[in-house]
Amino acid sequence: MPTVAQHFARLQRKAHASAPDVAPEATSPVVLMVSGGADSTALLVMACTSKLDLRDGRGPVRIARERLHVLHVNHHLRGAASDGDERFVRDLCARYGVPLCVEHASFTELSGQNLEAAAREVRYAAARRYVRELCAATGAPRASARIVTAHTASDRTETFFMNAIKGSGPAGLSSIPRRRNIIVRPLIDMTHEELCRYLQVAGIPWREDESNVDTSYLRNFVRHRVVPLARERNAQLERAIGATCDILGEEDAFMSQLAGNALRTCIRREDEGLVVLDARRLASAEIAIARRMVRLAYRKVAPAERLEMRHVEAVLACVARGEGSLSLPGGIDARMEFGTLSLRSPIARERLAAGWLSVPGSMPLANQMVLESSIVRVPDGSDPVEFARTSRAPEDAEDRDLVAYVDAGSLGFAERDLMRLLEAGDAVPAEVYTAHLWVDTPAPGDIMCPLGMHGRSRKLSDILGSARVPVAERANVPVVRTLPGGTVVWVGGIRLDERFKCTAASKLLVKLVIRAYDRIGAHDEG
């Protein structure tokens, strides 16, 4: 995303006819993606005989011949014609002395993708693989390599209309970017017609794909029906839409940066397949930023999936209501409760459950265990500390339950609210729920003040090590917290935090119990 100074400096450099002839990264590979059509044929010829701008608007330069490599992917979708394309590209590379890599692809299983998208994915995967191999062989850093495609202003215009017809936001309407990471498109300001004339003047043939006239494909429909009509109103259609795409792309990048910054302040917990957001911060964001925040958070748990606008709106509707859940593409569970929005992948749901534990309530854990919570009143005249100690199961009991008593006041729960919950018993109305704790797994950097250490803090990883919990099993240890990313209250079955212990002044306690599923309900709740 360029600054104002960078933007106008780039325009000034493009306006000058003379540009530096010395390219940076003199040994890094440049992989040209050549299909044999007019555009990619022109790309190869220009790379070998002229100059190309591979440096994001800093001017065209000659490319050292030893840097050039060509990739051709034979999709085998058009039978003999596909093989003819491959032979043409082989002859072209031999003519210009450029090394060629040919990849062969098949499409027996599309997994719900349309054929065009699947073929595009195969091409780019092959290009990235080829770049890795070349960089490994030459010792060049991958960041300095370039994958060069022959996308033109005509392609950009067609993609703009296609996305507009299907329905899209700024990201889709910005169409094909000039550059994305190491992928550059130096012909993006030239039209297909201009490149055809270039080849005709040079006397160089190219291959035509007969399927390009089939208007049952959306791109061909736009190319042969929509664009000609639009050009009747604006003879410089590609130039106009290209400028629009540049504006939309730069504004989209800026908005994405804002959303990324906002999301970082909103995340309360992040783990593999799990993201927990502060719903209050999300709800207070501008709607344009909030939508992007949801998309970015979703991408963290499902990077290969696509979220549609209706999904984003449904998630934000749950945030606005303060409750609700829904299933998103890829099996992602989105759940709004207790002021947080959590997104979980199927893999995360198979591990130790991470989420809110209502008080009173229960939630499943790993290894067929369950964590239960209840509210206990200290009997009149009893010593709360002694009561909590003697209320635990006998020391010699078989499969002794893992129990902890926590001072309810230290958790910040109001006594009047807990009394209402206690009086409600098993029939707790939804509007009465005011007490809850967050349960997840140990996270890097966790610290607590273990009971008995008189307020001194210690790393949770050290506590688990002292308890001889194997590293491989630590992901199944439940950690009870005040909120996502908040203070550790209890490391299930291992240690209570000093700050939440029962004291002589305790009146109401929160009892936490870890039990096997087959023992649920087999005990008096105290």
Query: Is 239 within a domain?
Result: no
- Cα 44 to Cα 27: distance, rounded to the nearest angstrom: 19
Q: For residue 168, what are its two tokens?
A: 């899209």
Query: Is 226 within a domain?
Result: no
Query: 477 and 357: one domain?
Result: yes
Query: 130 and 48: one domain?
Result: yes
286-311 pLDDT, tens per residue?
999 999 999 999 999 999 888 888 99
Query: 93 and 69: one domain?
Result: yes
Residue 146, strand partner residues: 30
Query: Is 7 within a domain?
Result: no
CA trace torsion 88, 94, 100, 103 (10° rounding): 30
34-60 pLDDT, tens per residue?
999 999 999 999 999 998 988 766 778
Average pLDDT over residues 353-364: 83
Cβ-count burial 491-501 (b if 16+ within 10 Å, e if not): bbbbbbbbbbb
The type of residue at 175 is: S
Query: 389 and 378: one domain?
Result: yes
Query: 427 and 472: one domain?
Result: yes
Which among 296, 316, 349 is the end of a domain?
349
Query: Is 448 within a domain?
Result: yes
Query: 401 and 496: one domain?
Result: yes
Query: 61 and 199: one domain?
Result: yes
Query: Is 319 within a domain?
Result: yes
Query: Is 166 within a domain?
Result: no
Is the predicted pLDDT of residue 393 greater than 80, yes or no?
Answer: no
- Parent domain of 269: 261-349
- Residue 479 sits at φ, ψ, to 5 deg, of -120, 120
**Prior bond of 360 cis (ω within 30°):** yes
Query: 201 and 339: one domain?
Result: no
- The CATH number that applies at residue 381 is 3.50.40
Query: 370 and 330: one domain?
Result: no
Query: Is 234 within a domain?
Result: no
Only one residue has tokens 């008080």, namely 359
Query: 30 and 91: one domain?
Result: yes
In 393-459, where do the E strands start and end? 402-407, 436-440, 447-448, 458-459
153-190 pLDDT, tens per residue?
999 999 999 999 988 888 889 999 999 899 999 999 99
Residue 338, strand partner residues: none
Query: Is 256 within a domain?
Result: no
Which among 314, 349, 384 is the end of a domain?
349
- Domain count for the chain, please give it: 3
Percent of the chain that is helix, strand, coil (3-state, to 5): 45, 20, 35
Angle between helices 287-301 and 309-321 in degrees, nearest 10: 110
Query: 406 and 276: one domain?
Result: no
pTM over 0.85: no
pLDDT of residue 452: 85
Distances (CA, A) of 336 to 276, 292, 315, 329, 417: 10, 18, 9, 17, 22
Query: 359 and 301: one domain?
Result: no
Average pLDDT over residues 86-107: 92
- The CATH number that applies at residue 266 is 3.30.465.60
Which among 298, 330, 349 is the end of a domain?
349
